[in-house]
Amino acid sequence: MKFVIAPDSFKGCMTAKQACAAIRDGLLRVFPDAEYVMVPMADGGEGTVRSLVDATHGRICSAQVLDPLQRETFAEYGILGNANDSGLTAIIEMSAASGIQFVDEHTRNPLVATTYGTGQLMKHALDDGVRTIILGVGGSATNDGGAGMAEALGVRFLDEHGNPIPRGGGFLDRLATVDVSGLDPRIANTCILIASDVTNPLVGPTGASAVFGPQKGATPQMVTQLDNNLAHYAAVIKDQLGIDVAHTPGAGGAGGLGAGLLAFTQSTMRAGVDIVSSTVRLVERAEGADYCFTGEGGIDFQTKFGKTPMGVAKAVRERNPHIGVVAFAGHVGEGIDQLYDVGVDAVFGIVPGAMPLNEAIADGPRNLIRAAENVGRLIRLGRR
């Protein structure tokens, strides 16, 4: 038998690679002679760098950058190990440099938070010789339309007197000129894949400021200010660069970072799990498999909207429509029956009973091993 094991991380408990090992260890107790193909997965959010580095035998890099409040910090990114004719590929999570974890309820301020550190990470990756950057957007503390990112790569944002405007979404109303003459020339020859499941536009009632601003500390008055500023920013870009980013689906991701990437780089936006599946060649590696095991920390009705287990099920069934797909979860929520008609055959919770959260997290690997073994025993019973 052939088993493909392709889970996401179980947040705070196991990396995707560790979850792979736990599922395999459980199945080995039942099928010691089976073929096991382990593919750590992610959907573009937290853990994507580690999953892709592990899946491709790549390497983790660290760089000194500015956090959202322009304090020096160190952030990690990955260089994948599957270089091809297109050259090296880097994987970056924008939250590593510009994430919400850098601020708290007292310091969060989307008027001044900047994506400059994300641009610095991109520049470090270019210095490593990469030709493709996979950029996971999400978990940001920012609302600057990606202006900070672009500035780090050489774009100048000037006021009516020709002076640089301060960083942060609260100052974009001062923008008069976008000067791209200093943009790093390597960007023109770099393919950037934006890993995002967000379809929000940059501005308006479903835009970056209105939908995501409050969780970053924006008051109602700030939301109005930020939305107006991003609308002005988009208008200047359209007038001077001929690129319309105001209402492009996905432009509002990560406080408008999507808009900045679409305006100033050679970028394409795709669902994060689809990018990861393609990068790790999941479809090819699942060829001829009998079962696929996936999972993540929580599974519910939202899983079908681009989360890892759904993306894995879709990918492995592309060439193998009869493969069995089993998903494990630390927490099983409402609406999982919706998954059964779209590619997932069964969902199993791994927690054996009521227990404190810290115990469930500590026992996660052992619980996953036991759950995988029990599912394996069911499979063996069905084959008698």
In this structure, are residues 39 and 6 in contact, taking their beta carbons and an 8 Å threshold?
yes
Element (H, E) at 272: helix 272-279
In this structure, are residues 103 and 143 in contact, taking their beta carbons and an 8 Å threshold?
no
Helices (H) and strands (E) in the chain, counts: 12, 13
Residue 84 banded pLDDT, cuts 50, 70, 90: low
What is the mean predicted confidence (pLDDT) over 39-44?
90
Q: End-to-end CA distance of the chain: give it in Å, rounded.
A: 14
The verdict on residue 200 lying in a domain is yes
Does 190 lie in the same domain as 68?
Answer: yes
Tell me whether strands 177-179 and 156-158 are parallel, antiparallel or unpaired: antiparallel
The verdict on residue 277 lying in a domain is no
Instruction: Give the whole-number percent of the chain exceeding pLDDT 70.
Output: 99
Does 21 lie in the same domain as 155?
Answer: no
Strand stretches in the chain, DSSP E: 2-5, 35-38, 59-66, 72-79, 88-93, 130-136, 156-158, 177-179, 191-195, 267-270, 291-299, 324-332, 346-349
Does 251 lie in the same domain as 177?
Answer: yes
What is the mean predicted confidence (pLDDT) over 80-99?
87
What is the phi/psi pair of residue 119, to 5°? -60, -35
The set of residues, in sequence order, having a beta carbon less than 8 Å from that of 331 and lying 6+ positions away, is 297, 298, 299, 349, 351
What is the mean predicted confidence (pLDDT) over 114-138?
96
The pLDDT, as a whole number, for residue 45 is 81
CA–CA distance, 317 with 323 (Å, rounded to integer):
6
Domain boundary among 272, 307, 332: 272
Which segment of 118-122, 237-241, 266-270 scores lowest on mean pLDDT?
A: 266-270
The pLDDT, as a whole number, for residue 358 is 84
Does 57 lie in the same domain as 33?
Answer: no
HSE toward the beta carbon, residue 116, CA cutoff 13 A: 22
Domain boundary among 222, 242, 272: 272
* Cα three-residue angle 271-197-13, rounded to 5 degrees: 95
Residue 83 banded pLDDT, cuts 50, 70, 90: low
Instruction: CATH number of the domain at 18, please.
Output: 3.40.50.10350
The verdict on residue 309 lying in a domain is yes
CA 122 to chain centre: 15
Instruction: CATH number of the domain at 152, please.
Output: 3.90.1510.10
CA–CA distance, 175 with 181 (Å, rounded to integer):
16
Q: Residue 319's closest CA among 351, 287, 272?
A: 287
pLDDT in tens, 61-72: 999 999 999 999
Per the structure, the count of domains in the chain is 2
Does 144 lie in the same domain as 11?
Answer: no
294-329 as b/e: b if 16+ CB within 10 A: bbbbbbbeebbebbbbbbbbbbbbeebeebbbbbbb
Q: How far is CA 188 from CA 184, 191, 267, 352, in A?
A: 8, 8, 10, 53
- Residue 383 class from Cβ within 10 Å (0-12 exposed, 13-18 middle, 19+ buried)? exposed
Residue 86 banded pLDDT, cuts 50, 70, 90: low
Does 183 lie in the same domain as 73?
Answer: yes
Does 267 lie in the same domain as 151?
Answer: yes
Does 110 lie in the same domain as 234?
Answer: yes
- Kindly state the tokens that stand for 134: 């996979």
Q: Is the pLDDT of residue 133 over 80?
A: yes
Contacts of residues 179-183 at CB distance under 8 Å and 24 or more positions apart, as own/partner, are 179/155, 180/154, 180/155, 180/241, 180/264, 181/156, 182/154, 182/155, 182/156, 183/150, 183/153, 183/154, 183/155, 183/264
Rg, Å, the chain Cα set? 22
CA–CA distance, 304 with 342 (Å, rounded to integer):
8
367-377 as b/e: b if 16+ CB within 10 A: bbbbbbbebbe
Does 163 lie in the same domain as 83?
Answer: yes
What is the mean predicted confidence (pLDDT) over 166-178?
98
The pLDDT, as a whole number, for residue 328 is 97
Q: Is the pLDDT of residue 197 over 80?
A: no
The verdict on residue 278 lying in a domain is no
What is the mean predicted confidence (pLDDT) over 217-244?
97
Q: Is the pLDDT of residue 296 over 80?
A: yes
pLDDT in tens, 347-360: 999 998 877 888 87
The set of residues, in sequence order, having a beta carbon less than 8 Å from that of 32 and lying 6+ positions away, is none
The verdict on residue 112 lying in a domain is yes
Which residues form the domain of 23? 2-41+283-382
Does 268 lie in the same domain as 139?
Answer: yes
Domain boundary among 242, 272, 302: 272
The pLDDT, as a whole number, for residue 198 is 80
The pLDDT, as a whole number, for residue 173 is 97
What is the mean predicted confidence (pLDDT) over 168-173?
97
The pLDDT, as a whole number, for residue 87 is 84
The pLDDT, as a whole number, for residue 85 is 59
The verdict on residue 204 lying in a domain is yes
The verdict on residue 104 lying in a domain is yes
Report pTM: 0.86
The verdict on residue 119 lying in a domain is yes
Does 312 lie in the same domain as 215?
Answer: no
Q: Residue 180's closest CA among 97, 120, 263?
A: 263
Does 256 lie in the same domain as 311?
Answer: no
